Structure 1
């Protein structure tokens, strides 16, 4: 397993986590076996936005003795009073639901307490007016909630909550379909969505990824908006390459699903490579570097994707990105303008021109 560090807090989080949206139907024995397998393989991050109440007590039993080594992402607004998932912004209902979730999970604290599924302006207004954020902040002061988070599919609203300066983790839907305008949750253009990811990294807000496979649509030719199937490993790599992303949370149904997902860790670079997307993406997404490094190897030895990432993050205000760029053995000024990267880029980025632009940017900022 590989791990990434939460900037605000320092927690080491597995790059593959576990979603619970589909596992409830597996039955208690299979749920527990799946969770135990996840723990054995180094998964330590668990999202608890489940389709029903079934996983909660089983997770609680399975994690006795290792609670201090795992992280729960719990949603203030997911309600299980009727046994199945319901969405609410009513504070009293949320308080009862959180009390039940804590009891079922056999824990007295929440690692990440989330404002749940804020997708519309009206959702945000209800959260503000009902005192739900105030409730989470109260629990944070009491030590019950360690970090505050937000789950959303809407870049505009995610940015508004980021403006409040209270969240440490954003749960967001990242996959090629949504980023390139396909699907019900493909809100915002490619540039707007990438700017959100960059802002999160610049401000030290981690991202946990939901819907990495677009509900399975990307995995089948018949339902893929690109007219061609992608693989789970391509989708996982795509999400992990985005700025700010700490973990991807596939919703598994059983151990078989989990074993297949874990295969990503042993997959070859070729199996993870999603450069084929460059033949599918819409015209307005062309010229946007997604750091896929399909342009490698660079004859001059430049890490073109990483140079682009540090540049984009530095423009977004990330001071650390400037420091990271300065420490690179070979920077943009080492480009020999051979055009190798331009010819290989599946997203038609003029990388030679970008290297000139990047060199000038960092030189000017260094002089200031």
Structure 2
């Protein structure tokens, strides 16, 4: 397993990390992700550690905290071998302070996560969404205090826009507070929006991307193609509305390119899709999920080999879409190539 530095920090993270959203699954969304119990989770953690996957990602909102609880039990006795990433800010109840990133909410959320995880610190703590109702100074100063207290080691964000990140980083810079070094983002061959603003920002400001849903919300598993519509038993029928929409023609075009490259490399479609992500600028780690040992071992096969330049170009061409304004004018003109040549696909 290769390891990379997380953004502008000294923390080394594996290029593949494990998403524990399948742990303790319950509710209309998370039960479709998986219902892994403690015994199964321990086995998956065993396999991960054997392969060098030491980073495990969860969130307080996953199955109402059950994901954190199961992960905490699964790593019991080997806390020093793993890195824990978790998140807070999304609603966890119906009360007025059960959502957001106020000082009260963040301190309470961190304490609850620490208890569920059975640990005294969180290695990477991320805000799960931007809270427009709380001043960024309150948010960032609270996170800084939690870092100073030793409860958080590194901090980051997830699902933020570029201006929201920069406003927060400016407040941290001005006041000498701890800066964000991680940005957990949706990024896949079916969704390359990350490249338009957030990737250049990450390169400039030192934020490493932790990629979620690398298989395009389950569409790049190799089970869907132009001749094979979504299977009757697919969880996409239940969960598609939670994820980003994808036009059928775009999906089929990307899948056809993936299938061609998979044949050339003798790898699976998911392995090729994940390997492509690992080669992208600013990506520190790709979060893989698995409901069972077979899925996990398949996903672990995404590393240890590389796509050729020609194969990457084939995947780039099939997955590229016209960027929205104000990006598309300069991307069409060679004279403006210096703005982001290493970041564009």
Task: Please indicate, yes or no, whether the TM-score normalized by the shorter chain is above 0.5.
Answer: yes
1:177 aligns with 2:190: yes
- Which residues of 2 match residues 96-111 of structure 1 at below 5 A? 96-111=108-123
The equivalent residue for 1:23 is 23
Q: Which residue of 1 aligns with 2:148?
A: 141
SS in 2 for 1:17: strand
> TM-score, normalising length from structure 1?
0.64
SS in 2 for 1:176: coil
Counterpart-to-counterpart distance in 1, 2:329 and 2:295: 34
Give the counterpart of 2:302 among 247, 251, 264.
Answer: 264
Tell which has more relative contact order, 1 or 2 (C-alpha 8 A, sep 6+): 2
- In structure 1, how many angstroms separate the alpha carbons of the residues matched to 2:10 and 2:55? 14
Q: Which residue of 2 aligns with 1:47?
A: 57
Relative to structure 1, the CA distance from residue 11 to residue 105 in structure 2 (aligned partners, 3 Å threshold; closer, same or farther) is same
* 2:303 counterpart SS class: helix
In the alignment, what sits opposite 2:265? Answer: none
Say if 1:283 and 1:63 are closer, same or farther in 2 by CA, change over 3 A: closer
Q: TM-score, normalised by structure 2?
A: 0.68
User: Could you tell me which residue of structure 1 aligns to residue 264 of structure 2?
Assistant: none
Structure with max Cα Rg? 1
User: Residue by residue, what CA displacement relative to the aligned partner does 1:107-128 show, whole Å, maximum 9, x if unpaired?
Assistant: 111111212223xxxx3x2242
Quick one: which of 276, 290, 295 aligns to 1:252? 290
Deviation per CA, 1:108-151: give whole Å up to 9, x if none.
Answer: 11111212223xxxx3x224279443322211121211112111
Aligned residue runs from structure 1 range 194-273, under 5 A: 196-219=198-221, 220-221=224-225, 222=229, 225-228=250-253, 229=255, 230=258, 231-267=269-305, 269=307, 273=311
SS in 1 for 2:17: coil
Partners of 2:41 and 2:74 within 8 A in 1:
no
The CA deviation at 1:75 is 1.2
Aligned CA-pair RMSD: 3.5
Asked if structure 2 preserves the Cα contact closer than 8 Å seen for 1:170 and 1:206, the reply is: yes
Query: Shift in Å at residue 61 of structure 1?
Result: 2.9
1:214 deviates by 1.8
The unaligned stretches of length 5 or more in structure 1 are 180-185, 290-307, 317-346, 348-368
Aligned equivalent of 2:5: 5
